[in-house]
């Protein structure tokens, strides 16, 4: 295990020396922060058909609200990440969570799909603070296997949001209109604001903060883009996210429109598949220290590729009716289990390759690639003759992206191995 060194040469405390209570509190605080993002995307998924009907819009327009928040997250991270390097982690984080809370409540009153898309973009920009700064805080405090172990714990906590989000969203539809979901989201965000204010101290000392200027920013970004140790796993993560997000954004319509599932049945299937993600994260955490990070990442990519190829085969053969839903759930379960290996290990390889002084910028660039590329690729599933996603269009996008992620990892791993010789 390595130690984080400041510019002056002082050593940060060994991660193992941190009291378990403080580590658990940090997991809780950062988990609450990062969970608001998945909750913002998953809570209203069961209501997609109802929202389209209520706002008099098409399914493709409502899917665009997911793409909008993804692009907002991408843009916001490019701004907030470098800002957190220069100004510290707390202030940008508190501002971002505050704006996210206001935007969440405002979504309850949108008059049209266009206004909804615009507000979701604002929500994404503000929500970027939680996503980018949480990763930077982990880099401030941990390295190597300790970072991988912490990211696994963090994913276990944040995995509860996509697990419970669709279930909660489906049940909220029984209690009231779709707007109720955004009221709940605003309340959760308000809670995270309180938790951050009282429970998250500053993790980047003032003497380790670089001056914020455009020339320095471009220099840092250019260095990251040229560093294969960073850009390789970052691009692998972004493509894998695109594969997963295609499933997240399209399967609500596909399951209910093409296979006749109810909103509650979709919520249950989504929860089962997200449970696969959490199990994968747990197994990955168990293997830390036993199996190398790159091998764990390779195993995750292999499992994900097998699952999406199986999805493609099912789309070619044709699986009509609700009887196909258990089979599709099994395929997506394997994919999500594999994602539980991909995300923490790709994140660890990318972030740990950089010093803490640029951790915010590195986290921002990685997150921007993830949400811009992932969100854009997912939107391709809706580019059909009818403007609605189908199982076939989902499969085409997911297989293509899964192959691309695997190819990028293979090429980069070979280059890194040759450079080390």
Q: Is 186 in contact with 322 (CB distance < 8 Å)? A: no
Q: Which residues lie below 8 Å from residue 153, measured CB to CB, with a gap of 6+?
A: 27, 285
Mapped onto helix, strand or coil, the DSSP state of residue 167 is: helix
Distance CA 210, CA 371 (A): 26
Kindly report which listed range (31-35, 42-46, 86-90, 348-352) carries the lowest average pLDDT score: 31-35
CA 182/CA 136 separation, integer angstroms: 28
Count Cβ neighbours within 10 Å for each residue of 399-413 and write b for 16 or more, e otherwise.
Answer: bbbbebbbebbeebb
Residue 234: how many other CB atoms lie within 10 Å: 29
Measured distance CA(19)–CA(26) in Å, rounded: 11
Q: How far apart are CA 225 and CA 233, in angstroms?
A: 12
When the pLDDT of each residue in the chain is averaged and rounded to a whole number, the result is 84
pLDDT digits (tens, 9 = 90+) for 320-338: 666 788 999 999 999 999 9
pLDDT of residue 157: 67
- What is the topology classification, in CATH, of domain 18-201+212-420? Growth Hormone; Chain: A; (1.20.1250)
Return the closest-CA partner of residue 107 out of 151, 161, 69, 57.
Answer: 69
Nearest to 128 by CA among 295, 375, 336: 375
Query: What tokens were used for 300?
Result: 């995750």
Q: How many CB atoms lie within 10 A of CB 108?
A: 15
Is residue 16 scored above 60 in pLDDT?
no
Asked whether 147 and 131 are in contact (CB, 8 A), the reply is no
Whether residue 2 is predicted with pLDDT greater than 80 in this model: the reply is no
pLDDT tens for 101-158 read 999 999 999 999 999 999 999 999 998 898 788 888 888 888 777 877 887 777 766 6
Please tell me the distance from the alpha carbon of residue 328 to that of residue 326, in angstroms, as a whole number.
Answer: 5
Q: Over pLDDT 70: what percentage of the chain?
A: 91
Q: Under the phi-then-psi rule, with left for phi > 0, alpha for psi from -120 to 50, and beta for the rest, what region is 392?
A: alpha
Please list the helix, strand and coil fractions of the chain in percent, rounded to the nearest 5, in that order: 85, 0, 15
- What's the pLDDT score for residue 399? 96
In the numeric block, the tokens 């429109």 are attached to 257
Q: Work out the pLDDT band at 308, boundaries 50, 70, 90.
A: very high
If you count them, how many residues does the chain have? 421
Report which of residues 4 and 127 the model is more confident about: 127
User: What's the pLDDT tens digit per position in 174-233?
Assistant: 899 999 999 999 998 998 899 888 888 888 888 878 776 777 778 888 888 889 989 999
Token pair 């097998």: residue:
306
CA dist., res. 314 & res. 325, Å (int): 11
State the CB neighbour count (10 A cutoff) for residue 239: 27
CA 82 to the chain's CA centroid: 19
């Amino acid at each position: 295990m390595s130690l984080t060194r400041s510019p002056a040469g002082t050593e940060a405390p060994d991660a193992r020396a941190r009291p378990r209570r403080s580590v658990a509190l940090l997991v809780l605080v950062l988990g609450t922060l990062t969970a608001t993002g998945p909750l913002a995307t998953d809570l209203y998924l069961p209501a997609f058909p109802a929202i389209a009907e209520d706002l008099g819009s098409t399914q493709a327009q409502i899917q665009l609200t997911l793409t909008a928040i993804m692009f907002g997250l991408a843009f916001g991270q490019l701004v907030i990440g470098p800002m957190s390097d220069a100004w510290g982690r707390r202030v940008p984080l508190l501002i971002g969570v505050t704006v996210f809370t206001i935007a969440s409540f405002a979504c309850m009153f949108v008059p049209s799909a266009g206004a909804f898309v615009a507000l979701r973009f604002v929500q994404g920009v503000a929500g970027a603070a939680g996503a980018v700064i949480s990763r930077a805080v982990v880099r401030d405090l941990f390295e190597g296997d300790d970072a991988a172990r912490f990211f696994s714990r963090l994913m276990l906590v944040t995995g509860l949001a996509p697990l419970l989000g669709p279930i909660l969203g489906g049940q909220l539809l029984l209690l009231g209109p779709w707007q109720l979901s955004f009221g709940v989201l605003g309340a959760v965000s308000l809670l995270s604001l309180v938790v951050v204010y009282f429970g998250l101290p500053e993790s980047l000392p003032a003497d380790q903060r670089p001056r914020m200027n455009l020339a320095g920013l471009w220099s840092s970004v250019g260095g990251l883009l040229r560093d294969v140790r960073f850009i390789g796993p970052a691009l692998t993560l972004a493509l894998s996210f695109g594969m997963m997000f295609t499933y997240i954004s399209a399967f609500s319509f596909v399951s209910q429109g093409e296979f006749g599932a109810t909103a509650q049945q979709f919520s249950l299937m989504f929860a089962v598949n997200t449970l696969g993600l959490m199990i994968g994260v747990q197994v990955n955490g168990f293997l830390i220290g036993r199996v190398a990070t790159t091998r764990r990442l390779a195993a995750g990519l292999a499992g994900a590729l097998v699952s999406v190829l199986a999805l493609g085969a099912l789309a070619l053969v044709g699986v009509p009716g609700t009887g196909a839903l258990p089979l599709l759930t099994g395929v997506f379960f394997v994919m999500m289990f594999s994602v539980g290996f991909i995300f923490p290990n790709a994140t660890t390889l990318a972030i740990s390759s950089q010093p803490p002084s640029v951790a915010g910028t590195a986290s921002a660039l990685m997150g921007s690639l993830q949400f811009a590329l992932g969100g854009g690729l997912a939107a391709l599933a809706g580019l059909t003759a009818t403007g609605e996603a189908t199982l076939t269009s989902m499969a085409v996008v997911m297989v293509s992206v899964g192959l691309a992620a695997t190819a990028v990892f293979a090429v980069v791993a070979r280059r890194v191995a040759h450079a080390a010789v």
